[in-house]
Amino acid sequence: MIRVIDHFGKGYATEALRVVVPALFERMPLASNGGTGFDYIEGRTATENKASQGVLKKAGFSYCETGLQDFENPLRGKSDSVWYRIARPGKTLRELGLLPSEANEDDDKPPTPPLQ
């Protein structure tokens, strides 16, 4: 992770993802039909990291799920995380079985995790 505060909020991470994701899909083989590549890319961040969630959404990723206490934060220990995914062009997250039925592809906010 690169943390240069002078560069926060300027769109550099979004711009990088918008270039890297299509390049990866173009260069890597498909996983479907017995291939050895992949049909989607996954991004995960802490639930409180709204900036990273914004980057993923702006780059075309869809919210898919919230993980409970599955994110190891080096400063705060275990925390909840949110998972975003983007399917290879010509595929959908739903057809790949990666979009839970309760998730909404058009939803901008992940659901609130249940209280423990």
Interatomic CA distance for residues 113 and 116, integer angstroms = 9
pLDDT at 105: 44
Q: Is residue 75 part of a domain?
A: yes
Burial bucket for residue 72 (CB in 10 Å: 0-12, 13-18, 19+): exposed
DSSP H/E element including 24: helix 12-27
Report CA-CA distances (Å) from 38 to 14, 25, 47.
Answer: 22, 8, 26
Q: Is residue 59 part of a domain?
A: yes
Q: Is residue 83 part of a domain?
A: yes
pLDDT at 92: 92
Looking at residue 81, which CATH number applies to its domain?
A: 3.40.630.30
Question: For residue 30, what are the domain limits?
Answer: 5-87
Point out the residues of the chain with pLDDT beneath 70: 1-9, 33, 100-116
Q: Is residue 107 part of a domain?
A: no
Interatomic CA distance for residues 15 and 36, integer angstroms = 28
Looking at 36-107, list the stretches that DSSP marks H as alpha helix, in order from N- to C-terminal side.
50-58
The structural domain count of the chain equals: 1
pLDDT at 42: 94
pTM exceeds 0.85:
no
pLDDT digits (tens, 9 = 90+) for 49-62: 899 999 999 999 99
Q: Is residue 110 part of a domain?
A: no
Question: What Rg, from alpha-carbon coordinates, does the chain have?
Answer: 15
pLDDT digits (tens, 9 = 90+) for 10-26: 778 889 899 999 999 99
pLDDT at 82: 94
pLDDT at 11: 73
Q: Is residue 112 part of a domain?
A: no
